Amino acid sequence: MFNWFQKKKIEYPQFWIDYKSHFQEEDLKIPLKDVTFVVLDTETTGFSYEDDRMLCIGAIKAKENIIDLKSSFEIYIKQEAFNPESVEIHGLMKNHNYETVSEIDALKMFLAYVENAIIVAHHTNFDITMINKALERNGLPLLLNRTLDTAYLFKKTKAINTLLKNDRGYSLDEVCKELNIPIKDRHTAAGDAMLTAQAFLKTLARLNFKQNSTLKSLLRK
């Protein structure tokens, strides 16, 4: 007889199975210097998780204290939803002349790129939710990666002082300014990812981890 209580097993595409295979056993005791971070930024048509869409994903890998340019990732996505108001922020026009890919192809490429790296972004929640919404639309589960937020980590480097009113959110511009990172290509996904990567490395140094610190001690921060 047909079993009404058995959940229907969904067949996921091969690229998702490959992506998921990287998460079989997680080792939080891995030394920090061996952890691969994917620092990313997305450009979207707006700030609504439901109505707006990703136009671009820019990312770069950082490991130990090194950013390898060969690992840079920059993908432009063909989208039907288009919000003219956001054009002013990042200058991505609907009829641009960049090479674009479909949303599902972009996700496929991104998952193959990110594997089980720790995802780092500035206000990570926004970028992760945008990617997750896209995964959902394409009938896929949510991202499995652990995440870090440079806005949060940066605040951790400060002694919170109510008089200074420094217990607040910091924009990427503010963080870059304080960390002496020359601002270039702001509001392009790859440019912001690069700025965020530099901010991440500089913030990490300021958090004064001991020589043999593990991933766990960073995630606990």
The pair of three-digit structure tokens given for residue 123, joined into one six-digit string: 């206000």
Instruction: Pick the closer one to other proteins by CB: 62 or 131.
Output: 62
Give the residue among 24, 1, 20 at the shortest CA–CA distance from 10. 20
x/- contact string, 65-94, with other proteins (CB under 8 A)? xxxxxx-x-x-x------------------
Instruction: Pick the closer one to other proteins by CB: 22 or 78.
Output: 78
CA angle 84, 119, 59 (to 5 degrees): 55
Interface with other proteins, residue 202, by CB under 8 A: yes
Among 92, 130, 194, 215, binds other proteins (CB under 8 A): 194
Q: To the nearest whole angstrom, how small is the minimum distance from the Cβ of residue 16 to other proteins?
A: 24
Q: What per-residue string of b and e applies to 153-164 under the rule 16 or more CB within 10 Å gives b? A: bbbebeeeeeee
Reduced to 3 states, what is the DSSP secondary structure of residue 193? helix
Among 168, 177, 184, 186, binds other proteins (CB under 8 A): 184
Among 58, 108, 117, 140, binds other proteins (CB under 8 A): 58
Order of strands across the sheet with 36-44? Answer: 100-101, 73-77, 54-63, 36-44, 118-121, 147-149
Give the residues lining the site for other proteins (CB under 8 A): 58, 60, 65-70, 72, 74, 76, 98-99, 180, 182, 184-185, 188, 190-191, 193-194, 198, 201-202, 205
